[in-house]
Amino acid sequence: MSKLKDSFGRQIEYVRLAVTDRCNLRCQYCMPAHGIDIVPRKELLTFKEMYRLIRVLTELGVNKVRLTGGEPFVRKDFVSFLEMLSYNDLLDTINITTNGALISRHINKIEKLKKVKNINLSIDSLQQDKFAKITRRDVFPEVYKTFELLEKSSLNLKLNVVVQSGFNTDEIVDFVRLTKDKNVVVRFIEEMPFNGKGQRKMEKNWTLNKILEEVKTVFHVDEIQSEKSSTSRNYKVKNHLGTFGIIPAFTRTICNDCNRIRITSTGTFKNCLFDDGVFNLRDFIRNGASNEDLKELFLSLVKDKPENGFIAEANRKKGTVSESMSTIGG
């Protein structure tokens, strides 16, 4: 069986799939207050189409999928889709990124799906007022409840914290403190200055080094070994139960070992977060492409995977990145 390999010899094993572009929150770094222009429903991939695309990719060596969005739990029957995907015997791992505001009642059911292993919960502040300012919705108690339920569940939990200058940088140390008694991984994400209405002005860029310096003002920190294709550099404070990591989303120092591709909610194939989107899979399958056609297409598309995010951005025809991560599938 041919495997998906790019021209730099990187084996593609992980696909990020946005199951919707819709969201119940309006995080200021992700979209404007009035939201983004969502696409008509018929332009979204159906769950059947998603299942088929993932199946074909797994026949080419992909073994992990991350479901994201928009907010995945906004899409009707998302939990049934998780069950459906679990039937794919070639898939090892299903991961989910969620804002946590709609999931508490589903946790028991999700825990029973053995392929669903890791949940990334986005939580940018531990203070209700600040959380409401950042997300423009007053849902902190529900998200915190989700956090507590997930922490007690058998699912592996990572907290995603976008570090926003002037908003939550004073809480970096509080988040690391959480790892003392809780078996969680906190991941600080460098903010990317685009949110669906163009390039956003940022006061200061909180880069990996700056975030790490801030943690070191209070804690002694050791770097820990990361998986080769990890999106983060990872650290531990001695005697803390959990760990923390930093995702250099903006400074892009982790591209070398990238093993990921992306599919947006409208079926656009992306080799890199920063590229334009290189092929419309939805129209290809709606026009009758067979699974063999799809395989051939995937094998050729990944050959154009750019070496890193800077090259991907430089190759864009649509100018600098400005789309919301909700459209791209964060």
Cβ atoms of 244 and 185 closer than 8 Å: yes
Distance between CA atoms of 150 and 144, rounded to whole angstroms?
Answer: 10
Total residues at interface with ligand SAM (CB under 6 A): 21
- Pick one of ligand SAM, ligand SF4, none as the site partner of residue 31 (Cβ within 5 to 8 A by kind): ligand SF4
Residue 264 as a binder of ligand SAM (CB under 6 A): the answer is: no
Q: Spell 235-260 as b/e; 16+ CB within 10 A means b.
A: bbbeebebbbbbbbbbebebbeebbb
With CB under 5 to 8 Å by kind, the binding choice for 88 among ligand SAM, ligand SF4, none is none
Asked if residue 63 lies in contact with residue 13, where contact means CB atoms within 8 angstroms, the answer is: yes
Q: How far is the CB of 102 from ligand SF4 (least distance, A)?
A: 10
**Residue from the set 20, 68, 168, 243 that interacts with ligand SAM by CB under 6 A:** 68
To the nearest whole angstrom, how small is the minimum distance from the Cβ of residue 68 to ligand SF4?
A: 8
Which 8-state DSSP code applies to residue 29? T
Beta strands in 86-232 (DSSP E): 93-98, 116-122, 156-163, 185-190, 221-224
User: Could you tell which of ligand SAM, ligand SF4, none binds residue 191, using a CB distance below 5 to 8 A set by kind?
Assistant: ligand SAM
From the list ligand SAM, ligand SF4, none, pick the one residue 26 interacts with, judged by a Cβ distance below 5 to 8 Å according to partner type.
Answer: ligand SF4
Kind of pairing, strands 185-190 and 243-247? parallel
CA distance 161 to 123: 6
Pick between residue 58 and residue 265 the one whose CB is nearest to ligand SAM: 265
CB of 6 or CB of 28, closer to ligand SAM: 28
- To ligand SF4, the closest distance from the beta carbon of 103 in angstroms equals 12
The site for ligand SF4 (CB under 6 A) is made up of 23, 25-27, 30-31, 69-71, 99, 122, 325-326
Beta bridge partners of 260: 14
Residue 175, judged by CB atoms within 10 A of its CB (0-12, 13-18, 19+), counts as buried
Is residue 189 a contact residue for ligand SAM (CB under 6 A)?
Answer: yes
Least CB distance to ligand SF4 at residue 140 (A): 13
C-alpha–C-alpha distance, residues 236 and 253, integer Å: 20
CA torsion through residues 126, 128, 132, 133, sign: negative
Q: Binding ligand SAM by CB under 6 A: which of 134, 192, 258, 263?
A: 192
Q: Pick the binder of ligand SAM from 58, 99, 231, 232 (CB under 6 A).
A: 99
Binding site for ligand SAM (CB under 6 A): 23, 29-30, 68-69, 71, 97-99, 122, 160, 162, 189, 191-192, 194-195, 249, 325-326, 330
